[in-house]
Structure 1
């Protein structure tokens, strides 16, 4: 904003400077006759006195009188002949001078020439203001323009800041954000367009959320019936081939049920912080419960889980269920790619935020794919098989959990060469004011 103000002020000063330059050069040419007539009227008494003074000192006395006149007038008064001035004057000025009229040379200084008896011409020139006063006058004009610009920009700046804050809030996920400006505001039409756009986007996203939630919820019932029906088909008389088919169908139904559960979880998290139940949680107990849930799977894959919680705070305000879900998703993601070891760390930063990180010694994630790994249903090319790559919703849920708590999750390189996911949960929780886009 300050840069815009400086640009506007410099533009105004430049425009004013060009206007002054145009006036200085153009106006004397455009209004020369009018200005000359006004000068003749103003100097009528002075012209009469000067001519009378010269005429009262004829002959040898004139040189002494003119010398005294020069001495009293100083360097800004000189006596010349018409022949000396003729090359400097245009034809109109020369004709006026020969007719005995005062000729004005400049409109901003008293620079004029006056014909005297005996072919003499007096030229007088003195500035209306000295250079110091002129500089002060320009400073006053510049300050007046600055205050005028500041007065106008103050209201414009205030409204632009409101629009800027509203767009930031909307981009952060608070989709109900609107800009309230006076109808007299310079950007009222822009704010109205922003509000209309925000309303349409909010309605579209809400419809998508409602659709996803409704479909996912409705799928639960037929899936439960399918699973129950497959269980009833199991009988001792079934052949081995039929049993294998039944097991395969049951596995598919369970996977579909798991997908629907993930979609419901993601849909609930997208509704915002109202889905989080914030309580004081003992960090060590939360980590232990998560480790216990994955201990069997880690042992089955012959992996080692390295746990570091020495720098963690004793307690932290969060939703234990959601945070545990995020950690489980990260650990299961690491189990798919880790070679030997997975590292789980919990610590606090200088601001008191809880930092949870999960890293592995696997192949890592390509830099060009890191911006998309948190998108729903996104899977890397090497893991598109659902048996190894999951459904592509786990990391999306992790990100939503972090955002619901007012934090964030980032992906970085692990010291062991794999991927490192870092969840930041702020100490000052503002989740009750947030909505996730």
Structure 2
């Protein structure tokens, strides 16, 4: 960062100096007509002096219009006095930049003063044109300095977008001339390492999916062969195998979510119909009373498969831990968000543990243990899917004295 600031400071500093010096030179030689104007007026003064010396000042027809002074009436600078004695025309300027001429006649005592004369005003258009050109050159130089920096920042943007969407085929082309080239190389190296880790994780998930299922299938076959000898013991072992199989399925499902967002398609979804369909599905196998109040025709943008997974997990959670009833509400509180609330009348969740239930493999107490069939991944999956949809989930105490899960999703504007 220090290198970036120093580079920018010195670049701008020296660019301004170069532009100012160049502009001043151009203005003096081409933009400002004052030098040629003075040369012309000086030549006129020399011609007048020659005329006065030839015919005599008293014989000059317009003598009364001349400003005649004695040489000793003015406090001359030494160089001015010397120039007058040499026969040169002396030019001086007043506080308003008006110029005047002094010339000494042949009698070496009479000085004729011409002026003061106001200089020819410079064109405002020319003045601002020079300023425009100067600032345009500075802007061009800044663009040339910023171009490598802009290219590196664009590359960083592409790299982060690729990582965010799960693309692992990252290609980098760092610039040697950028002020942040070192930082860019470190970030791109980190991105390549992250992509490599994600690729390894994906390969590990695929390997686990195959390698763990194979011995489990053999174990289930062996238990089936042993069942006639000790049915009770084999049944208990079968339950452990089934539980292990369910845990592996849940873990693999959660791990695959890391790579699912890239392939997820989005569309406009009628959330009211989607919620109703999931309620109907759960009602078939549930022995609890499910009450619902759904606002009709609420639309959101997203993937219906993954949003259905969110609804399934929340309803199954309420089914597991509720005692007698489940309450589902879908309402729109403002023009931006829709709120889905799934409540149960179970033991509830202590306030100090409500945030932790969304962490993977979190089970709070015996009432929410593996005996109910959960492994602590359902709510973690809910959080991850809602993150893809710019949504959120939080827990409060329900109106029916259990846990109440609130889901917020942005309403479709299309």
For structure 1, the 5+ residue unaligned runs are 1-7, 29-36, 71-77, 429-437
SS at match of 1:330: helix
Contact 1:170 1:176 in 2 (8 A): yes
Q: Within 5 Å, which residues of 2 pair with 1:289-308?
A: 289-292=280-283, 295-296=286-287, 299=288, 305-308=290-293
Indicate whether 1:129 and 2:129 are aligned.
no
User: Which of 309, 327, 332 pairs up with 1:325?
Assistant: 309
User: Which of 132, 137, 145 pairs up with 1:143?
Assistant: 132
Whole-Å Cα distance in 1 between the matches of residues 143 and 56 of structure 2? 68
Indicate whether 1:101 and 2:88 are aligned.
yes
Q: Could you say if the C-alpha distance between residues 122 and 82 of structure 1 is closer, same or farther in structure 2, counting changes exceeding 3 Å?
A: farther
The corresponding residue for 2:245 is 257
Whole-Å Cα distance in 2 between the matches of residues 425 and 212 of structure 1? 35
Q: Within 5 Å, which residues of 2 pair with 1:12-411?
A: 16=16, 20=20, 45-55=43-53, 58=56, 65=62, 67-69=64-66, 84=74, 86=76, 92=79, 95-96=82-83, 99-103=86-90, 111=99, 113-117=101-105, 118=109, 120=111, 122=114, 124-130=116-122, 133-134=123-124, 136-145=125-134, 149=139, 153=143, 156=147, 163=155, 166=158, 169-170=161-162, 172-175=164-167, 193=185, 198-227=191-220, 229=222, 247=236, 252-272=240-260, 283=274, 286-292=277-283, 295-296=286-287, 299=288, 305-312=290-297, 318-320=303-305, 322-333=306-317, 343-346=327-330, 357-360=340-343, 362-363=348-349, 377=360, 379=362, 387=370, 391-402=375-386, 407-411=389-393
Q: Could you say if the C-alpha distance between residues 343 and 314 of structure 1 is closer, same or farther in structure 2, counting changes exceeding 3 Å?
A: same
Whole-Å Cα distance in 2 between the matches of residues 126 and 59 of structure 1? 26
Whole-Å Cα distance in 2 between the matches of residues 97 and 340 of structure 1? 119
Q: TM-score, normalised by structure 1?
A: 0.58
1:201 CA drift (Å): 3.2
Contact 1:79 1:123 in 2 (8 A): no
The corresponding residue for 2:32 is none
Q: Could you say if the C-alpha distance between residues 413 and 178 of structure 1 is closer, same or farther in structure 2, counting changes exceeding 3 Å?
A: same
| Count of matched residue pairs | 377
1:410 CA drift (Å): 1.0
SS at match of 1:421: strand
1:269 CA drift (Å): 3.2
1:116 CA drift (Å): 2.8
Contact 2:66 2:114 in 1 (8 A): no
Q: Could you say if the C-alpha distance between residues 93 and 336 of structure 1 is closer, same or farther in structure 2, counting changes exceeding 3 Å?
A: farther
Whole-Å Cα distance in 1 between the matches of residues 284 and 75 of structure 2? 107
- For residues 385-418 of structure 1, the C-alpha deviation after alignment (integer angstroms, 9 at most, x for no partner) is 8548954432342345457xx6243125659595
Q: TM-score, normalised by structure 2?
A: 0.61
The corresponding residue for 2:408 is 422
